[in-house]
Structure 1
Amino acid sequence: MTRDSDNPPRGKIEPVADWLQEVEFRRPTAKPAAPIWRSRGWWRWVAAVIVLLVLAVVAFRQPLADLIWPDMRVQRLLDDAELALKQGRLSAIDGTGARQRFEAAQALDSDRSEARDGLARVAQAAVAQARGYVRDNRFEQARQSLALARELQVPRADADAVADQLRQREVAHAGLDELMRQAGSARTSGALETALPLYQRVLALQPTHTTALEGREDALSELLQQARLAIAADDLAKGSALIEQTREYDAGHVDLPDAQAQLARAVEARRRDADGDLRRLRLEQALTGYRLVLAASPADADAQQGIERIAVAYAQRSAREASDFDFAAAQASLRLARELSPRASVVREAEQALARARQSQSRLGSTLPLRERKRRTESLLAAVEQAAARGEWIAPPGESAYDKLRAAQALAPDDAAVKRAAARVVLATRACFEDELRANRVRRARACYDAWQTLETRDAGLADARRRLSLKWIAVGDERLGSGDVEFAAQALQEARGLDANAPGLAEFAARVRRAQTGQ
């Protein structure tokens, strides 16, 4: 409310209807905010950031400089390399040597000639360093410096000159005359294993030492004479070792070819003898012969195959012994077969035959009454016919026609019905073999053959059947190999080799299988 100055009051003041219009409402004036740059907290943060930046620049000044000015890094490497060269640190594993520094600079800038020139100076310094080491009789360090110089492609004449100095110094330092005296004394006393290394040491220091060359030649001649005597005494392993030792010392020795030829003839003769022993089933002698061959020639394939055939023969012997219930002998033969060829199929078959024989024996009654014996015999013969009708000649163990027949024979060996059944089974297995072979069913043909062989071990037709079955495995395996079935071909090769290791075409088939396996 305001006064009207033009109409002064006359004893009474009257309110005016719009008096609020004359009233002014004003907010109190706010205190202006201080500028942010005048805040102490703000300045503390700015100061902290500046300090961190300064510390980062100080800590990473070199990488930053290398990143921004790469020429500075190259120059620094060159300076470090020059310093290392002056200090004689030509090469260092930790990279601080002159060579490593110059190479690093060259990698960064291959156009600068300072690095190339520096490496050339390092090479010359290495030659000089090697000469100094030679004078000080520090031969190992001299060889290292000389190797460094050669790696840096120092002129060959300079390196060869230092190498000659090193060799001569080593000869003088080693006492070459004393080494020769010791070598000659050892050779005279027959200690060739001592003399030869001494001669070799002399020749390493002085390759043209005539007396050492002649001494080594004579010692090797005596060594080869010992080898010939060992071969003549049938000690092929010793003879082969002595010949190999001679070859290591001097592969061009004049007497070496004759000794090698004598060893080859002896190995061939021993292999032929072993083959003959195997054909006559003198398995122990054959095994000894093949092992002698392998001792002299570990890679002899014929000897390796001969040992596999011996394993087959032992397995077959085990099966025959098991059929006669001679379990101790069967187990011994089976153990030998396992040792020689643990993965051969014939070994697994011998194991099954032994198990079947034991099961058959366990079923036999030793004190059965006559009527019960007859009843069981008739039951077994009926089981033989049933198993034969199913084609179960050998397997499963205990239920096959062979097992049932063997049980019947054990119960009544003189029974006419049992003998007739045995004859029928033999004829049936032979017929089964021929039928399955003609049909190329090699696995079933093998089962029939095994039954035939087990029942009639002395049958004259077994050898021919064995050869024909081996050839059939080769033919079927080759056909499957052509269609890409390498796994079956490898199995066929193993079967054929187990049946007849000398079957025609076996070696060629084996080579094709190996090539296919390598190609896989």
Structure 2
Amino acid sequence: MNRDLRTTTAARLRRARWPWLLAGSALLLAVVLGLMLSTRGPWSERLWPEAEAETLRRQADAALARGHLTAVDGSGARELYEAAMAIDPDRAESRAGLSRVAEAALRRAGRELAQGDLDAAERSLALARSLSAPRAGTDALAEQLRRRRLAVAGIDAMLRDAAEASAQGRLDGNPRAALPLYRRILELQPGHLQALEGREDALSALLAKAGDALRREDMATAAALLAAARGYDAGHGDVPDIEEQRVCVAETLRRRGDRALRDGRTDRATDAYRRWRDSGVDVDAADRALAEVAALHLARMRAALSAGRLDRARNEFAAAAELPVEPNALREARLQLRRAERARATLDPLTPAQRAQRLRTLLDDAQRAEAAGYWLTPPGESAFDKLRAARALAPDDPGVRTATTKLQRHARTCFADELRDNRLQRARVCLDAWAALDGDRRAIAQSRTALAQRWIAVGEERLGRGELPAARAAHDTARALDASLDGLQDFDARLRAAEAVVR
């Protein structure tokens, strides 16, 4: 009886534990499956290979976007795409990803080559080739890399040659000079410290030469040296100082030229203005100043023709022709000179008696034109033109001298009257005639200044109305009369500002 009771009790206990054992087993199985699926081990790959490959491709895309192309620890784009292909070889996305890595590696190799990092370029090229990058691109880059390595092999020799050239003062001007050699080295290795330091020293020496040229007022040499220095390194510390010196010397030359022009010293004015122009500082203004010198030469040519001094007239014309001059003015002056030469040719065969008769006729014609009021016009029939022909025939004849003095007084009075009535073009004609008749130089200079001031006033008025071409014409006329006139520069600056706005 006791045995039966014990058997029955054991059976009851076994039946009571069975549900708990079943639940525990199920829980254990779920935990094991969860651990298997949460890892990238073989089991998860066997269960869901496509999901794992997609995860790897996304990680590879991110690595490629960061430029992390390859890594020995497997975190590079190449390794991640290859892992995705190993898991899911049938998907084309991983193969396309590897092609993009190859292209990126080839581009990186090109950049590294341009920067002079040849070893890095070699590694990137090897990566591109291992991933079957296009043959044409890899072969071309490999050839560039080969040539660059050959060139780099000669850098030490170029450094020695550059240092020697710099020590000997051979800074620029030929491929074996210091600065071209340093530039070649820096093209091969942009960060080469010795080359950078050597170039700095050579540029300092070059700019010192520019400073010496400026002190000699050799503006063409200084400008060329400064331009060369900028071509090698526009940011060199000595460039601003030399540039400031160049501007100061150019201004000194301009002022010297203006004084010389005002005093009628055309040779000194021409020399100063040409040096100003060679400096490269405001070349257009320098050309305008030289044109004013040319205008003075042409005025002197006409005066010499009036005085019968044909050789001097030829010299004045030749001097004007070497300067920037308005083509029409030069053409007209050439015609005047040729007419005078033809007139001289017709006079040379005359006998003394014939010359005397011709002189009396011209003086009589001049007197009649004067009586009729034809002092300066019409051309060819005026007292001025008749007297000019008489002066060419016999400049020292007493009758010619008397007529000249009389006409000088009339030209001076004419100028004063026309200026008072603000007829500026007519006043200029009277002034030119006065000057051509060898009038008082001091009085003529004062009159030129007075007329220039009137033209500035006209220019101011035109500028106020917005009539810029007329204002510029008035400015140029005033400058041709007196380049050193007070207020001329200020007016020119305001006019330029207005013209800049219109453009």
CA gap 1:122/1:492 in 2 versus in 1, 3 angstroms = farther
476-485 or 365-374, which deviates more: 365-374
Deviation at residue 322 of structure 1 after TM alignment: 1.3
Mapped contact 1:474–1:493 kept (Cα < 8 A): yes
Aligned pair partner of 2:280 in 297, 304, 311: 297
Q: CA deviation at 1:488?
A: 3.9
Q: Deviations over 1:309-338 (max 9, x none)?
A: 321331222122212222233123113213
Equivalent pairs counted in the alignment come to 381
Q: Single out whichever of 365-374 and 217-226 deviates more from structure 2.
A: 365-374
Relative to 1, partners in 2 of residues 1:172 and 1:376: Cα closer, same or farther, differing over 3 Å? closer
- The whole-number CA distance in structure 2 between the counterparts of 1:261 and 1:370 is 63
CA positional deviation for 1:414: 7.9
Percent identity of equivalent pairs: 38
Q: CA deviation at 1:297?
A: 2.4
Shift of residue 404 of structure 1?
1.4
**Aligned position for 2:440:** 458
1:79-90 map, 5 Å: none
1:245 aligns with 2:225: no
Q: What does residue 101 of structure 2 align with?
A: 124
Structure number with greater CO (CA < 8 Å, separation at least 6) is 2
Range that drifts further, 436-445 or 236-245: 236-245
Distance in 2 of aligned mates of 1:234 and 1:374: 52
Aligned to 2:45: none
Distance 2:329 2:263 in 1: 20
Specify the alignment match of 2:450 in structure 1. Answer: 468
Matched with 1:37 is: none
Aligned AA for 2:314?
Answer: Q
CA change 1:517–1:368 in 2 (3 A) is farther
Write out per-residue CA displacement over residues 327-384 of structure 1, whole angstroms, 9 at most, x where no aligned residue.
Answer: 2331231132133132188757755764675576578665446995686256413433
Question: In the alignment, which of 411, 418, 441 is matched to residue 423 of structure 2?
Answer: 441
Query: Could you say if the C-alpha distance between residues 349 and 401 of structure 1 is closer, same or farther in structure 2, counting changes exceeding 3 Å?
Result: farther
What is the Cα deviation at residue 411 of structure 1? 6.9
Question: Equivalents in 1 of 2:366, 2:243: separation in Å?
Answer: 64
In 1, the alpha carbon distance for the partners of 2:457 and 2:463 equals: 10
Task: Indicate if the aligned counterparts of 1:486 and 1:517 stay in contact, CA closer than 8 A.
Answer: no
The 5-angstrom pairing of residues 84-483 of structure 1 reads 124-130=101-107, 170=148, 174-175=152-153, 176-193=155-172, 194-300=177-283, 303-343=286-326, 350=333, 354=337, 357=340, 366-368=351-353, 376=361, 379-385=364-370, 389-390=373-374, 392-393=376-377, 396=379, 398-408=380-390, 421-483=403-465
Distance 2:272 2:180 in 1: 34
Shift of 1:429: 1.9
Change (3 A) 1:183 1:352: closer
C-alpha distance in 2 between matches for 1:512 and 1:410: 46
**Contact 1:171–1:205 (CA under 8 A) maintained in structure 2:** no
Distance 2:355 2:272 in 1: 53
Q: Distance in 2 between matches of 1:197 and 1:286?
A: 39
Larger radius of gyration: 1
Contact 2:259 / 2:484 at 8 angstroms: preserved in 1?
A: no
Q: Please name the residue that 1:7 is paired with.
A: none
8 Å CA contact 1:203–1:213 kept in 2: the answer is: yes
Q: Is the 8 A contact 2:308 2:391 kept in 1?
A: no
Structure 1 residue 220 displacement after superposition: 2.0
Report the AA paired with residue 242 of structure 1: L
Contact in 2 for aligned 1:314/1:336 (Cα 8 Å): yes
Distance 1:216 1:441, change over 3 A: same
Gaps of 5+ in 2: 1-92, 129-140
Matched residue type, 1:501: A
Between 1:431-440 and 1:223-232, the stretch displaced more is 223-232
**TM-score normalised by the chain length of structure 2:** 0.61
Whole-angstrom distance in 1 between the partners of 2:436 and 2:492: 29
Is the partner of 1:244 in helix, strand or coil? helix
Alpha-carbon distance between aligned partners in 2 of 1:229 and 1:375, rounded to the nearest angstrom = 63
- Report the Cα offset of residue 428 of structure 1: 2.2
SS at match of 1:340: coil
Sort the Cα spacing of 1:356 and 1:126 in 2 relative to 1 into closer, same or farther, 3 A: same
The CA distance in 2 between the partners of 1:498 and 1:344, in whole Å, is 16
**Cα distance in 1 for residues equivalent to 2:238 and 2:395:** 69
Amino acid at match of 1:316: A
1:323–1:357: 8 Å Cα contact kept in structure 2? Answer: no
- Counterpart Cα distance in 1 of 2:209 and 2:396: 65
CA distances 1:452-505 after superposition (whole Å, capped 9, x unpaired): 222233343211111111122232344345556554444333322221122233
Contact kept, 8 Å, 2:362 with 2:390, in 1: the verdict is: yes
TM-score normalised over the length of structure 1: 0.60
* 8 Å Cα contact 1:307/1:340 also seen in 2: yes
> Over aligned residues, Cα RMSD in angstroms?
4.5
